[in-house]
A and B are shown apart, each in its own frame.
Chain A
């Protein structure tokens, strides 16, 4: 079943020296599966994620032949409806909990607030459900973390709180924008395992935005490779080794391997004709 359908999505940022096209005519769809969007920084992958949520800055122009979530035309939806969708049906996890959690608000309150934005629940029930959610992201002492400020917890703990905050209202589609890039390597796997379990348990669709092709290939079902605002390849994760596009091959070849001693390391090739 398809949750999200995108056809010819473009995002333009008008500037004094001309428009910057962050995303150009991309199309894909997502069901209750794990889709990865991979690309280097500036390839437009994060902007794609934000456009789905309607979080593109007001001065940017978002156009698409089709941008549909569960049959709802997102481009024609009222701001009110889009806000109701955010958090409740589509949620997003951001990169670095150090910046994405409000520094002057206790963690518990931030999660309670997400819940109460969508459901009319009493104070006590909201607290109970927040503590349950914190337990679900494997925080050992939820009652203590509930009363902490974001700077008082580690990056891994912060990202767990972020996941709890975004999942508490039970969204059907989760966009994870580089959810582990800012974390220590040892913590990355824990967070991925938590995400993995919750996505499977709740039957959510997941869009996993990353620059790390290897991570993605082991974690997701399908991979979309973006370059300079375009989709250059769409391929099942299991078939990555048979990728056709030279850019995807380049990304795969860049990864150092322990077994093979390769000198010199290959550099990533960028050809202007891929932009067309």
Chain B
């Protein structure tokens, strides 16, 4: 979001503590306001939009007494603003109610499934970074060359293809036809009962326990969905890297660096990319946030037991507490990453620190 470059200050002050404090303060205040906005919208979705919120919560197969109990329990007989205050109070303490489907508190369910999503989105972002940045740099340096065209096509296709369809096609080709990777799921049944998760990030857990057979199996499961997410991340990152690099390469300090007699590789990777890195960090954080969102459809395709699958399962079973809880959690992480990107931008650029 607010990743627009602030005007360059000609000031001569060294970076002050106050600058960092004000950046952090901004992060907190804007974050709080946006979070409040998210809660307002979800409250609106949960209590105002449905014709009968109680039915939305307990489901339409509930008995009359259950409906009455729920009405009282959620304070639905109170005026709207009191309901909202109650809702805020609960949401701020992480209480999103109970899931009809699992009978667990929604927060507990989400904490259980979240590491799976985190692992997938992280793997996807790493893949996107690994390929996207070099591709974007080369496309900018060799403008209008073959590699530039390739980056363009990758970007265009990435913005035009539905991820769930690409996932299906990927499963068809790489799992069913070629048998290069494992199918849906996160780990094979053979390991499911012997493998003990610690952090919930399976690749990491298997590595620190030295369970290399399990590691290979987990890797074979994650590589396809992570590559798909990585493709979308790469499309975005390479396109942005290219445009930032073109901008930097046109600057006068590049001419000065050449006039000094520096090697071209040093000019590109040491000077131009270092400057492009400042806005790129923002892009990477945004891409990570987008992948968290994109994981909803990807997880459905790959039966990946993360928050995306939790959300869609709840959706299909009209489990409104779980839906709203999931929405708030994903939304909060998304907003947090957005603002974090903004904060990083302010802290990384020596010009905006003054």
Contact = CB atoms under 8 A, between A and B. Distances in A.
25 contacts: A55-B259, A83-B261, A83-B262, A83-B263, A85-B261, A86-B261, A92-B256, A94-B252, A95-B252, A98-B8, A100-B256, A102-B271, A104-B278, A105-B271, A105-B274, A114-B260, A117-B260, A117-B263, A118-B261, A149-B351, A151-B350, A151-B351, A151-B354, A152-B14, A152-B350
A113 B349 CA distance: 21
Contacts of B260: 86-87, 91, 113-114, 117, 165-166
Interface centre among A91, A94, A100, A153 (most CB of B within 10 A): A100
A261 B12 CA distance: 41
B12 A101 contact: no
B251 interface: yes
Nearest to B275: A104
B259 A101 contact: no
B39 to A, nearest CB: 38
A33 interface: no
A84 interface: yes
B257 interface: yes
Contact of A117 (B14, B261, B274, B278): B261
Interface string A168-195: 0100000000000000000000000000
Contacts, number: 94
Given A104-B275, A152-B14, A154-B12, A99 B261 contact: no
Contacts of A55: 255, 258-259
B147 to A, nearest CB: 16
Given A86-B260, A88-B261, A152-B350, 12 more contacts: A87-B261, A95-B252, A98-B10, A100-B252, A100-B253, A103-B349, A105-B271, A117-B263, A152-B13, A152-B14, A152-B354, A154-B12
A53 interface: yes
Contacts of B12: 152-154
A68 interface: no
Contacts of A153: 12
Nearest to A95: B252
Interface in B251-304: 251-253, 255-263, 271, 274-275, 278
B93 to A, nearest CB: 43
Nearest to A148: B14
Interface in B1-26: 8-14
